[in-house]
Amino acid sequence: MYAVIMAGGEGTRLRPLTLDRPKPLVPVAGKTAIERILSLLARHNIKKAAITTMYLSSMIEDHCGSSSDGIELFYFREDTPLGTAGSVKNTESLLSLDTDDSFIIISGDAVCDLDLSAAVSFHREKNADVTIVLSSSPEPYEYGVVLCDKDGRIERFIEKPGKTQAFADTVNTGIYVLKRSVLELIPKKTKFDFGRDLFPYLLAEGYAMYGCVDNGYWCDVGDLTAFYTCNMTIAREENPVPQIVNITGTGCHIAGEADVRDCILFDRVTVGEQSVIRNAILADNVTVGRGAVIGSGCVVGSGCTIGDNAKINPGIKLYNNVRIGNGVCVMADVFFGEIKADIFGDNGIAIDKGTLTAEYAVRIGIAVAAAAGGGKIGVMSAYNPFCRLIREALLCGICSTGTHGMDLSPDFGGFSSMAAFAAVRLGIGAVLCVYEDEESENIKIDIFDRCGLYPERSFERKTAAVLSGGISRRNTPTEPERIPAIVHLYRSEISHEAGLNNKLTIALNDNQPARLLASALSDAGITVAESAPLKIVINDTGGDISAFENTGKDQFDTDKWHIAAVIARSGLNKEQSLSLPLYAPAELEKIVTKGGVTVAHYTSCPYDSGENETRSAAAGQFWIRDGLFSAARLCALLSRTGKSLKDCVSELPPFDSLSDDYTFQGKAPRLTDIGTPSQEGVLIEYDTGRVRVIPRRNGSFRLFVDTVNAEMASEIMSETKKKLDNFVSGISE
């Protein structure tokens, strides 16, 4: 049997270690990653292997030569990226010489001790077209999750899911056994991926695809954290030594009085006396002066010189050949180190105000521009000095890449709903809205695509990759375009939704969205007073609405979903189809469909482009997710009918919804242990309603109860939290 080693990646997330070497040549406890792969293949009787290369190809060829561990090696270079499947297709001339009808594929950055022979036997036993070797991971979000039935037959793929779609912890290791006949389905000299293109096609066409779970050691050394952990794990397994472990290459010198602990030192590293280094990675030819301090998590690129008594704060990366003078303190935000996707909150980026600097905001702007892939990017901010500073820094980063940056609030503070509106009406690929969340003390940067919704998961990953890699392609810088008129267009459309009438008097709360709403409603002839029987409340981001009505006997109050149901039932919405978030109450869908309108649902952060049609339809349906548009339509309805809000809501079928967070300590339960997988999160069904459980970015769960009344909603919420408590306590035990 032959093997194919995919070794063409640039290793962006491993920079600066991969600035001058390909990822398969990074050292792992004394051996390069590809040497460990070749040793594994040799142990399982592989005699010939193809190595696909693109980035720094000659270095791999020179290092491995024509054979290694008894394996004859053949190289296939890519002039342009062909994708994972396309690169393997490129090796077909060699694979066709094999008498075996199947072959093994392994990623060039996989460090593992898996039983390949067992995987091949499983493949033959099942007569599979494709067998994917699977591993269990507590953090499956950076991998392809694979769901299988009891027999091992693959039922579903979720490529690099967000937390809400991680229904299992069995992840794709990038090790496959394929029948050669599958190669015929891969187009020649075309970019084609296994996870994105080939496997979904095979699954849809009913090919025999199986997953083989292997509990042996496996690590994808794709980022700096994984690289460090993998090195330390293997070093401790291969050389049982005291707890303090340093991995040192050839020609290293550590002075006797230096304190170096749990570090990875490549070749020819010199550390001066009285220096202190903890949990750091130092690449080739680094020189550290006397008394220098390098903090935990630092990565120092090749050829760097760190002067006497210099201090490098924790988490810093220094790129190749940087010189730090004597006594210099390198200070920067921890985000300048290894950046992970946890800078993202539920609707965008969330960063502690005390650590967000203008310099880092510039880098975010650069990363967002790279993720957006050109076009226009708008930025809006709340009207306070710090948010405006971050807005300008984001624009600086965006425009520095040559991207068309648009300032959407130069003279007027904006908020999230207005930013979503701007993305749709101006056809902008991405709009960022900067504001301060007083409750969490975070600066939040909400992000909207041209549909006015949160972008796909791939946007997050690309943004994080550029932040981590620190390098992006630059073009001639541009000047930001200033567009002060968006607020006037927004107000005008809200006023138009309310119609022309003078039969209604309402009160509003006092925040920026409500003040803009007051102006728009006044343009429509609606009287906005300090007090009135009907009070409408808009939240600070403009996305939520609630209403309170004084009936003379008591106060009646209602929420956004009942208001949406009232509007939908009235016929004011002229749409033939309606796009709703997946967590919207089921009764709202029933009300809408009774009027002959079709309903589709979208998730909060889709992992692929499968929802494009639904999201495009949602673009113009502001009244569903924008509290100001919803308020305008409600006012138009009440003015036209002369009914009270309570009367309108009482005509609806009974339903209620409730949402809350569930926070826990320790290991998170698997979603499939909690409930039935849905498009987003899982569902727990009760006789009287249901709960949707969706993981949040901060590690908690968001619970959405859907039932018939408030009392039942409270009971179901309480019961669900008890169930989750039992799951969590069971895991802890």
* Average per-residue pLDDT for the chain: 86
Question: Cα(379)–Cα(390) distance, rounded to whole angstroms?
Answer: 10
Confidence class of residue 320 from pLDDT cuts 50, 70 and 90? confident
Cβ neighbours around 237 below 10 Å, total: 11
Q: With 50 as the cut, is the pLDDT of residue 434 above it? A: yes
Lowest mean pLDDT among 110-124, 480-494, 564-578, 645-659: 564-578
Confidence class of residue 355 from pLDDT cuts 50, 70 and 90? low
pLDDT in tens, 3-44: 999 998 888 888 888 888 898 999 988 889 999 999 999 999
* pLDDT at site 469: 53
Question: Cα(282)–Cα(294) distance, rounded to whole angstroms?
Answer: 10
Q: With 80 as the cut, is the pLDDT of residue 244 above it? A: no
354 CB-contact burial (10 Å; exposed 0-12 / middle 13-18 / buried 19+): exposed
Collapsing DSSP to helix, strand or coil, 225 comes out as: helix
Which amino acid belongs to residue 154?
I
Confidence class of residue 242 from pLDDT cuts 50, 70 and 90? low
pLDDT in tens, 360-413: 788 889 989 988 887 899 999 998 899 999 999 999 999 999 999 999 986 778
What percentage of the chain reaches a pLDDT higher than 90?
47
> So where are the chain's domains?
2-220, 241-336, 345-481, 487-650, 656-732
Average pLDDT over residues 165-187: 84
Q: With 70 as the cut, is the pLDDT of residue 316 above it? A: yes
Non-local CB neighbours of 147 within 8 Å, separated by 6+ positions? 154, 155, 156, 157, 158, 167, 168, 170
* pLDDT at site 673: 82
Confidence class of residue 678 from pLDDT cuts 50, 70 and 90? confident
Q: Supply 625's token pair.
A: 């997710």
Please name the residue that has the structure tokens 């009438």.
Answer: 501
pLDDT in tens, 74-133: 999 988 888 889 999 999 999 888 888 999 999 888 888 899 999 999 999 999 999 999
Question: Cα(574)–Cα(592) distance, rounded to whole angstroms?
Answer: 11
Which amino acid belongs to residue 446?
D
Confidence class of residue 726 from pLDDT cuts 50, 70 and 90? confident
pTM: 0.69
Question: Cα(695)–Cα(416) distance, rounded to whole angstroms?
Answer: 22
C-alpha pair distances (Å), 166 with each of 45, 162, 675, 677: 35, 7, 13, 9
Confidence class of residue 163 from pLDDT cuts 50, 70 and 90? low
Cβ neighbours around 566 below 10 Å, total: 25
Question: Cα(281)–Cα(228) distance, rounded to whole angstroms?
Answer: 8
What fold characterizes domain 241-336?
A: UDP N-Acetylglucosamine Acyltransferase; domain 1 (2.160.10)
Confidence class of residue 165 from pLDDT cuts 50, 70 and 90? low
* pLDDT at site 340: 34
**What value does the CA radius of gyration of the chain take, rounded to a whole number of Å?**
29
Residues 313/295, Cβ–Cβ less than 8 Å:
yes
Cβ neighbours around 532 below 10 Å, total: 16
pLDDT in tens, 606-654: 877 788 899 999 998 999 999 999 999 999 999 988 899 999 999 999 9
Number of helices (H) and strands (E), helices first, in the chain? Answer: 21, 47
Which amino acid belongs to residue 169?
D
What is the DSSP code (8-state) at residue 609?
S
258-266: long-range contacts, CB 8 A cutoff, minimum separation 24:
262/232, 264/27, 264/228, 264/231, 264/232, 266/27, 266/302
Q: With 80 as the cut, is the pLDDT of residue 239 above it? A: no
Q: Supply 221's token pair.
A: 């050394």
Cβ neighbours around 118 below 10 Å, total: 14
Please name the residue that has the structure tokens 């969340």.
Answer: 437
Pinpoint the alpha helices (H) of 157-223. 199-204
Q: With 70 as the cut, is the pLDDT of residue 217 above it? A: yes
What fold characterizes domain 656-732?
A: TATA-Binding Protein (3.30.310)
pLDDT in tens, 509-546: 999 999 999 999 999 999 999 999 999 999 999 999 99
How far does Cα 460 stand from its chain's mean position? 4
Q: In what order do the strands lie in the sheet with 293-294?
A: 259-261, 276-278, 293-294, 311-312, 329-330
CATH architecture of the domain covering 345-481:
3-Layer(aba) Sandwich (3.40)
Q: With 80 as the cut, is the pLDDT of residue 480 above it? A: yes
Confidence class of residue 472 from pLDDT cuts 50, 70 and 90? low
- Enter the CATH code of domain 2-220: 3.90.550.10
Q: Supply 172's token pair.
A: 């794709």
Quickly list DSSP for 456-518.
PHHHHHHHHHHHHH---------PPEE-TTHHHHHHHHHHHHH-S----EEEE--SHHHHHHH
Which amino acid belongs to residue 618?
A
Q: Supply 282's token pair.
A: 């130092």
Residues 112/216, Cβ–Cβ less than 8 Å:
yes
What percentage of the chain reaches a pLDDT higher than 70?
92
